Structure formats: C-alpha cells, structure tokens
Amino acid sequence: MTEHTQADHPNTIATDDSRKKLLSVRDLKVYFDIFPKGAMPWTKPRKLKAVNGVSFDLYEGETLGVVGESGCGKSTLARAVIRMLPVEGGEVVWLGQDLAPLKDKAMRNHRKDIQMIFQDPLASLNPRMTIGQIIAEPLQTHYPELGKAEVKERVAEMMKTVGLLPNQINRYPHEFSGGQCQRIGIARALVLKPKMIICDEPVSALDVSIQAQVINLLMSLQKKMGLSLIFIAHDLSVVKHISTRIMVLYLGNVMEVADSADIYRQPRHPYTQALISAVPIPDPKIERNKEVILIEGDLPSPINPPSGCVFRTRCPKADAKCAEHKPELVYAQGTHQVACHYHD
Amino acid sequence: MLTHKKTNVEELAENLGNQTPVGRSLWRDAMHRFSRNKAAMAGLVVMLLIVLFAAIGPFVAAWHYSDIDWGLMGNAASAGQPSIENGHYFGVDDLGRDLFARTVQGSQISLLVGTIGALIAVVIGTLYGATAGYFGGRIDSIMMRTVDILMSIPYMLFLILLLVMFGRSILLIFIGIGAISWLEMARIVRGQTLSIKNKEYIEAAVASGVRPFKIVLRHVVPNLLGVVIVYATLLVPQMILTESFISFLGLGVQEPQTSWGALINDGAGTMRYGTLWQLMFPLGFFIATLLSFFFVGDGLRDALDPKDR
C-alpha cells in the first residue's frame, strides 16, 4: 500500500498511477418524488434526497465497503451507479465514460462488466427456472452466438468455481439452502467475467457460519479473477474483514472514506467513531471496559434534511458553524477523507 | 457382511456423483397437490368424459343431427321419448331430430366457444396486462384506461348488435366473446405483474442486461401462469354461459347447428307438452360441465397457491 506517502499533502486529490481507476463517481444525486397525501396531479412533488452529492473512486482489484445505518442510501447509491434508478445529477464515470446520461440501450452493453449480488438469496432467483437456466441467462443475453453445449460447459465450470456440484444443474432454487442460493447468485454474477461486482448486503440474510463461507468465497474469487467489489453492509466486522477501503454514509452524504485499517484504528468523524465503538468485541474483558459512544435521536427525514452538516442534529460536537456550513469532504491525512469541521 | 455393505455404499456414492438429478419444479409440486384433491380430480374426470362424449359421440349416434325422423315428427311427446331400439338414445326434439346427435353437436360448439374464448383471453389478456404492468407509468395509464373504456360498453348489447348487424355466425360469436373476455384477464394480470415487478429476480435480470420484453416473457409471465390458469378454467364456464344466453335469446348458432344454450331454449319451450327429456339432457350436460370446470379451477387454485408452499 502506498497511500501513506501522501500524508504531507492534505487537501490534494490522491493520484496513484500504479492502480487503475475503474469507477469514479462525482457528486451523484438520486432524488425520489414524494407526493403528499391527497395530492392533485399537478401539485409539485417533494424531493426525497436519498443520495445527495456522493463522490468516490473505485480502483481495480480493491473492495470498497459501504456502511451506514438503515435508510442512509447505501442500496440506492449502488442501484444508481448501475443505472437501475434514474440519476438526478452528477457523473458516474466507468473506464472514462460517463454512464449517467446513457440511454437504457447503450447502458445494456456495459452491464456485462458490472454485475450485482443481492441481499435475499432465494428471492433473487426466479422460482420457475432451473439453476442451470439462471446461471446461463447472462451468457445467453450477452453472447447469443454461443452454442448450447458451450453454455452448459461454462455454467458447469462456474458452478464448480463457486462450490456447487455441477450435477445439480437441473434443480430449482427452492431445493437449495440460503448459502447455496447465494452461491448460485454469485455464479450468475461471475459467469460473464465482469470487472466489478456490487454486493448489496449479500450476507445479511445468512447465518453467521454461512456468512463466513460466502465472504471467504467472494474474497478468493476476487483474488482469482481480479474483481473490484463495492460491498454494502451494516455489519462492521464483516466489512472490516473484506474491504480495502471503507466509505461511511449518513443520510445520503459521505461522512468519511479511508483505508480499512486506518478507519478502524483512528476514526476521525464523530459518526464513524460512534459506529465503531458500537461493534462488539469478542473478548468479555475488553468489551466490559469499552467506552461506547451513544448517538441520541433518530435519523432525520431525507425529505427535509437538516441545514449544513446532516449529522449535526445528533452530533456531540455540533455548534452554530455546523448548522450554517456544510462540511466538504477533505483529506485529513493521506487518503483519509472526512467531512467534518471538527474532525480529529 | 460389513464389507459387502461398504462396497454398496461406495457404489451408491459414486452413482450419486455421476448422475444429474432432475429437480422438482413448482409445476410438478402443484400437480402432485392437485392429484390429491378428490373433488378436483372428480371434476377433471367428468370434464374428460364430456370432452370424450363430444369427440366420439358422432360415431356412436345412429342419426345425423340434422336428419328428421319423419315417423316421429309431430308426435314427439307421445312416441319420441328416449329409447335404445329406434336409436334415439336421448329421444327426439320437437321436429323429430335425434336429440343424442344434437346434444353431441351442441357440446362440440359450446366447448369450442368456451375454450377458444378462454384461450383468446389468456393470450391477449396476459401479454397486454403484463406489458402494461411491467412498463408502468404513462404506457400503463393509457393501456389500462383503454381497457376501462372498453369495459364500460355493455357487452351483451355489443354482442347482440354485432350479431344483428353482420348476421348470425359462429365465427362472429368467437370474435365477439374473445374481444370481451380478455379485458378482465388483462386487469388481473396487470395487478399481479405489479407485485412480481418488484421481486429481486427481476432486478437481477435487469442488472445483467436482459431486454425488457425478454424479462416480461421469461420472468414475469411464467410466474403469472398460476393465476392465469386458475382464472382461465373459471372463464371457460363463463364463456359457455354467455354463448348459451346469446343462443337462448335466439341469436346464437344457426340451425341446423346447435349449442347447449339453444337446446335448453328449445327444451324449455316445449316443457309444458310433457317432453321433459328435451330439456333435461342438454341441461344435465351443461350443469355437469360448469360444475366440473369450477371444481377443477378451485383445485388448481389450491394447488398453485404460493401461500400453501
């Protein structure tokens, strides 16, 4: 890792030529129209700002963990990046091309490089299709010229790679356990040999022992195929295990972005500090004496977000400046970015 | 003994590794559940018997459905009752025509109207509703408002006007009934599509770049089929009823062809002369068919209901 060499130049954008930048998201905004109850057809809808100006980069072969509490815009961000949701503003630059203004048809060609793994393993598989058909579908969509035998061979190979028996090819999704279903989902995402995979809480529906299996499978596949991952989760220990860098979201805004080890050792944003202090440590002695920072109150409504810093309503350090000026995401040290006026 | 067993187990393990087991699809599960439902199976048997009756009846009948038994013409009430000897198994109608042959012919027409009407409803209604529901937005609004407008036309009036204007023909009845029957199907399918549309496997298909129409055909429609099949089996009797009503009004199929509705109409007209068989045979088939379709439809609904799983 070479990030620390830039420690002397805060506030400059870290450029590192040794790693290829795959994805570069700039000031991404995703708004939803909310019609108040009993609205007339001509009344202007209110905007729900699900993602409000998020910027980040993703380099080749790395894993970017995205964490934040429920409703902070993690999944919305992921879906907007792959254009499953309309983008209100900003850029999504994929290998030098902005995907945000593309028409659906043009976007479809890029989809073979960007795949997705979903939260509910069983619900993400069509119950009327055999798993052979499910895994073969992306192949047949993007390479219609492939013969039946070749498709079957590739599917069988992919099933072996993710740890499924190839003789289960004719079975249906409901005949598999949750962990196996997630393996099928992974096989479907990988069969096109994509460059990037978005994992939308891929393990939160599985129990802990299976979580470990799936995470380790993802990591070994990543190493083998040189994948980049965007890994969304709300379980911080899972994210720590898999991520190279971690991005913390709060109410559609980035709070902090840093290397995984860095952010756990020295969280700089008060929100991240609270999040990390809440992670249970599997040692009763340390756990008992640990200081937990409690955040009061609830997530404010994204329809009517607080002025200035969105976190100020629950922040222990907030003052008048936070209400007036929205803190920019700045380089605190090296590649450690934080959006707070009073960061540590 | 023990070693013998061991080789068996090894053999078994090896075989298990080599063969590709065929999975149990949801359809197979549903068929299994259906076959355990006694009422539905009885309905299915009755239904098949009636279809068989319509199919092989013409070869069994001693008379042609349009031939008049001149000896019985005019004295149907006294001499036209059902009998095996003269070949009139179901008796004769008021004109002395063989009622067995006519019931067979009526069954053919009525079943045809029912199945073709339901088939049109299934094909057009499913594609229309799934398209409207899946694409949503303005397309959905325009398509469904069109359905609303068509539905607000009183369909019986429409059918009668159609038949009066263009003359009575069986083809027009098919067209008329088909044109009406898909409307409700489209509504049901659209509603179902709206719930399927938000499932994660649809999202997965979109994410992997499958074209919208392929998604409708490959992911939406197969998951709708349970509802569609149930509704279609309940639609068949409805179509038969509609045709019967049209025939009852005297606007249905043209003589000498007939249908259950027309036969019941004739039988009801001559009931007071004591020729009860002229009403009872077609009515019996009519009721048996409707009931069997309802039972089969109920059985299918129970078998395909995802909440049962």
Residue B115 falls inside a structural domain: yes
The lowest-confidence range among A131-135, A158-162, B38-42, B269-273 is B269-273
| B34 within domain boundaries | no
A83 touches chain B (CB under 8 A): no
Chain A contact set for B208 (CB, 8 A): 111-112, 115-116, 137-138, 141, 188-189, 192
What confidence category does residue B149 fall into, taking pLDDT thresholds of 50, 70 and 90?
Answer: very high
pLDDT digits (tens, 9 = 90+) for A67-84: 988 888 888 999 999 888
Does residue B61 lie in a domain region? yes
**pLDDT at residue B37 greater than cutoff 90:** no
Alpha carbons B139 and B137: distance in angstroms, whole number = 6
Give residue B309's pLDDT.
Answer: 44
Q: Are B279 and B271 in contact (CB under 8 A)?
A: yes
B5-26: per-residue pLDDT in tens? 656 666 766 666 566 667 677 7
pLDDT of B305 reads 67
Class of A1-6+20-35+44-113+198-208+228-344 in CATH: alpha beta
Dihedrals φ, ψ of B274, to 5°? 90, 10
A1 band by pLDDT with thresholds 50, 70 and 90: very low
- Mark yes or no for CB contact B200/A192 under 8 Å: no
User: What was the pLDDT predicted at B118?
Assistant: 87
pLDDT of residue B142: 93
| Across A123-134, average pLDDT | 90
Reply yes or no: is the peptide bond before residue A327 cis, omega within 30 of 0. no
More confident residue, A41 or A120: A120
Q: Does B307 touch chain A (CB under 8 A)?
A: no
Task: Give the model confidence (pLDDT) of A5-46 as tens digits.
Answer: 444 444 444 455 567 888 999 999 999 888 877 777 777 888
Nearest to A91 by CA among A54, A51, A48, A49: A54
The model's pLDDT over A276-288, given as tens digits with 9 standing for 90+, comes to 888 888 888 888 8
Residue B274 lies inside a defined structural domain of this protein: yes
Nearest CB to B219; choose among A112, A120, A126: A126
Q: Which range scores top for mean pLDDT: A52-66, B151-165, B231-245?
A: A52-66
Strand partners, A246: A65, A258
Domain count of the fold of chain B = 1
Asked whether residue B132 is assigned to any structural domain, the reply reads: yes
**Chain A contact for B208 (CB, 8 A cutoff):** yes
Cα–Cα distance measured from residue A329 to residue B223, given in angstroms and rounded to the nearest whole number: 46
Chain length of chain B: 309
3-state secondary structure of A215: helix
Here the CATH number for the domain that contains residue B304 is 1.10.3720.10
Q: Which domain holds residue B195?
A: 39-68+107-308
Over residues A289-329, the pLDDT tens digits come to 887 888 888 888 888 888 888 888 888 888 888 888 888 88
State the sign of the Cα–Cα–Cα–Cα dihedral A216, A221, A224, A228.
negative
Residue B23, domain member (yes or no): no
How high is the pLDDT of residue A196? 92
> Would you say residue A248 has pLDDT above 80?
yes
State the amino acid at position B210 in one-letter form. V
Residue B53 lies in a domain: yes
The pLDDT value recorded for residue B100 is 85
Which chain A residues touch B211 with a CB distance below 8 Å? 108, 141
Domain boundaries, chain A: 1-6+20-35+44-113+198-208+228-344
